[in-house]
Each structure stands twice: as structure tokens, then as C-alpha cells.
Amino acid sequence: MPQPVITDGPAPQGLAPNVHGALWMVASALGFTAMTTLIKYLGDDYSPALQTFYRQAAGLIILLPVILRNPRGAYRTTRPGILLFRSAAGTLGMILSFYGFQEMPLADANALSFTRTLWLVPLAAFVVGERLGPNRVVAALVGFGGVLIMVRPGAQGFALGWPALAMLASSFLFALTITGMKVMTRDHSPTTLLVWAATLGFLFGIPGALFSWRWPEPADLGLLALMGVLGTITQGCYIKGMQIGDAGAMAPIDYIRLVFGAAAGFVLFHDIPTVWTLAGAGVVVASTLYITWREQQLAKRRVLESTPPQAPGPA
């Protein structure tokens, strides 16, 4: 999904950075819950592909001032092939995730969406060439065990059915886009990646939308536009929170959207999470939190090892 470029700003007086960052993360979780609630609410009349088109259109409109200010600079790239692949994967992932949110209880869909972190483990090894330690491998396998608890392949054929598979596939595709971003940020600015993702995402969203096209009612058009704006705001708040606070402290707060999603699903759609969903989500959350914590520890260790020792000062 497109990610807006957010600049650092001063923290409100009296707030510690992690507290300030946590407030942005909570705002991100609330925005995400509102967006997914609209996806589910509009699902009876607008297909996932059509919703994706309107979502991408809203993101592109928001970025138009950036593009028009310097079109050549905004689209300057040396590797259009990776950008094309990344945007195609992201658009398909968005369609599949919208389908999952439409068809599944919000708590179940939210829980499965967090498997994105688990998919990043093998992708980091095969695509980026990162070395995998046994701790990361075991944590990822445990996390996928939590997925099996939720979907229960042997229970009545498949407990959550095709929507669950769609959510897992979308998480894998989103993990691919994140991995592609790691590669591209070596020689591309975040603004360039954002502009390409918004533009190509809009173009890739057109074919699917045409198969289920319908002109929205004025009220629905407003809700579809709001859904797109909320998606952009949500990611902006997330990035801001990660910039201000310590990533290791911020990552666990993102899981509050499991609570928000379950509450919205219960109040608005009368969804009640099963014990299997709660148990499996707990395993997924624990494993992804461990992977995040482990990455933070390894990053700190690399910084310490790369810092030359200081010469002793005068006695």
C-alpha cells in the first residue's frame, strides 16, 4: 500500500518519545479499524476489486500536489521492473485482503493479517540474502502453527475457508512489497517509491474494477473516498509513531487493532471470535513480537560492533 512521507516534528512538551509514539500508533489502529469497517460495510454492493480501485484513486489524488510539483523527479527511477512487480503484488494483495475483510469476522481477518511479519522471515533470506538464525526460523514456524490453530484444516474441511486463504496470500504479497522496498530504498527516495506505487496501483486497479463496475451513490462515493483517505492517514500515523518512538516498543502497540477490530465486529456486525481464533491469534502475536524484539537486539548489537572504541581521555 502507498505510504506517505512524514517528517519528524517535535514531541509535545512533557511527553516521552515512546509515549508520544504510542499515541500515533493508537491513532493508526483506530484509523485502520475504521477503514476495515467501511470495507466490510460496503462489501455487499462493491466488490473487493472495485473497492481497491477507489482506494488507489484516493491515494493518487492525495499525492497529485507532490507529482505536479516535479513530475520528472517524482518518477525518476533506474529499475522500473521491480517497481512494476512491487505494485502488481501490492494491488493483488489489497484485493485479496479486502475480500477477506468483507467475508470474515474482523477479528479473524485482523489476526491473519499479522502473518505478514512471519512471511518476511523466509523472504529476507531468499530475496535480500539475510542470514537466518535458528531463533527466527523457530519463531516463524511457531507463528504459522498459530495460523493452523485458527484455520483448523481438518475441522469441517477448512474452518475459515477461502477468505482465510485470501488473507494469508495477501499477507505474503504485502511481505513481498516490503522486501522490494528494502531493495529499492538503496538508491530510491521514499517519495519516488510512494509516487510509483500510487500511480501503478491505480492503473493496475482499473481492469479488476471494470469487471464489476457500478457508479456509486453520492453517499457511497463519500464513504469510498473516506476509506481511501483513512488508509493513507493510517499508514502516516504508523510511520510517525515508528519515527518518534523506539520500534521495539511501538510494534506491540500495533496489536491493539486486534482489540479494536474485535470490538467493532461485535458491535456493528455481531461477530463473536471463537476460542480457536483467540488462541491462534495469541500464538501469532507472541511469535511476531519475538521476531520484532530479536531484530531490535541484533540491530543494536551491529551498531555497537561497528562503533570504534573511544580513546581514553586525559587522566
Q: What is the pLDDT of residues 27-76, one digit of tens each?
A: 989 999 999 999 999 998 999 999 999 988 988 898 899 899 989 888 98
Domain-embedded: residue 232? yes
Domain-embedded: residue 283? yes
Q: Which of 258, 225, 228 is nearest to 33 (CA)?
A: 258
Tell me the pLDDT tens digit for each residue of 244-254: 877 667 777 88
Give the range of the structural domain holding residue 236, as residue numbers without chain letter.
17-304
Instruction: For residue 149, give every residue at least 6 positions away whose Cβ sits within 8 Å of its Cβ, in sequence order, or none.
Output: 276, 279, 280, 283
Domain-embedded: residue 69? yes
Task: Give the chain's radius of gyration (CA, Å).
Answer: 20
Q: Return the axis-axis angle of helices 256-269 and 106-113, rounded to nearest 10°.
A: 160
Domain-embedded: residue 3? no
**Mean pLDDT for the stretch of residues 311-315:** 52
Burial of 152 from C-beta contacts in 10 A (0-12 / 13-18 / 19+): middle
Domain-embedded: residue 114? yes
Domain-embedded: residue 1? no
Q: Are 182 and 65 in contact (CB under 8 A)?
A: no
How would residue 302 be classed by pLDDT, with cut points 50, 70 and 90? confident
Q: Which of 230, 238, 94, 116 is nearest to 178 (CA)?
A: 116
Report the length, in residues, of the chain.
Answer: 315
Domain-embedded: residue 312? no
How would residue 158 be classed by pLDDT, with cut points 50, 70 and 90? low
Domain count along the chain: 1
Domain-embedded: residue 272? yes
Quick one: pLDDT at residue 192? Answer: 83
Instruction: For residue 162, give every residue at least 6 positions away whose Cβ sits within 8 Å of its Cβ, in sequence order, or none.
Output: 103
Q: Are 150 and 111 in contact (CB under 8 A)?
A: yes
Quick one: pLDDT at residue 153? Answer: 65
Instruction: For residue 286, give every residue at least 6 positions away whose Cβ sits within 8 Å of its Cβ, in sequence order, or none.
Output: 142, 146
Q: Is the pTM of this model over 0.75?
A: yes
